[in-house]
Structure 1
Amino acid sequence: MPLGYYLALSAVMFVIGIVGVLVRRNALIVFMSLELMFNAANLLFVTFAAYYGTIIGQISVFFVMTVAAAEVAVGLALMVAIFRTKHSIDVDQMSSLKG
């Protein structure tokens, strides 16, 4: 398959992720949109690694996935703590945490 198909798919995935982060109010949907953006970047890393015949892109994907897993673990723990106090995970209600 041509390189452009992978680039277009990655761009579409990234745009869907951006729209999900900016439009949705549910924190779980925001985290899923962030993960979609990470996966779009991972697709680009793997595509260019295959195109240029190097392994550097695949190593980058490993580190991005590691950071994404840590982000999800911390984010979900924060959401559970906020849900216990606010009884909602609406992003607009979390603005009261500013201090």
Structure 2
Amino acid sequence: MFPNPNLSPVVIPEVIQSIPLQSYLILSTLLFVIGIIGVLTRRNAIIIFMSVELMLNAANLLLIAFSSYRSDPSGQVFVFFIMAVAAAEVAVGLAIIVMIYRNTRNTDIGFLNKLKW
């Protein structure tokens, strides 16, 4: 019911540090590579947009892992600002995609090349 008073306040960083840093590196690299493959191989603008967000999240995961292992909160603060910029990017990007879909009824990036003069 009540929290244990004998429990130290640094339990969470100890649990995070029990996972080797190499695991975070491998997971972050895997997510980033999946994002790159999605950007390079897909033709749908929404899928490309999600792949870019996946790459941003992979970088955020790596920043948080290094921040935790060094016990330095500056990496976590940097991640907060990256997420704020990513949220603004999502709002603007999705608005552009919706306007393109309304005008062309298509989200294929190959079709967007025809919109040039």
Question: TM-score scaled by structure 1?
Answer: 0.96
More helix by share: 1
Aligned counterpart, 1:29:
47
1:86 aligns with 2:65: no
Q: Highest Rg: 1 or 2?
A: 2
Q: Which residue of 2 aligns with 1:74?
A: 92
Structure 1 stretches of at least 4 aligned residues deviating more than 4 Å after TM superposition = none
Question: What runs of 5+ residues in structure 2 fail to find an aligned partner?
Answer: 1-18
Pairwise CA distance, 1:98:
4.0
The root-mean-square deviation of aligned C-alpha atoms, in Å, is: 0.9
Gaps of at least 5 residues in structure 1 are none
Equivalent position of 1:45 in the other structure: 63
Partners of 2:115 and 2:94 in 1: how far apart?
A: 17
Counterpart selection for 1:63 from 63, 81, 98: 81
The Cα of 1:96 is off from its aligned counterpart by: 2.7
Q: Equivalents in 2 of 1:44, 1:18: separation in Å?
A: 16
Partner of 2:109: helix, strand, or coil?
A: coil
Secondary structure class of the residue paired with 2:72 = coil
Residue 30 of structure 2 is matched in structure 1 by: 12
Instruction: Tell me the distance in 1 between the aligned counterparts of 2:116 and 2:66.
Output: 41
Scaled by the length of structure 2, the TM-score of the pair is: 0.81
Q: Among the aligned pairs, what percent are the same residue?
A: 57
**Aligned partner letter, 1:34:** V
Using a 3 Å threshold, how does the CA distance of structure 1 residues 81 and 14 change in structure 2: closer, same or farther?
same
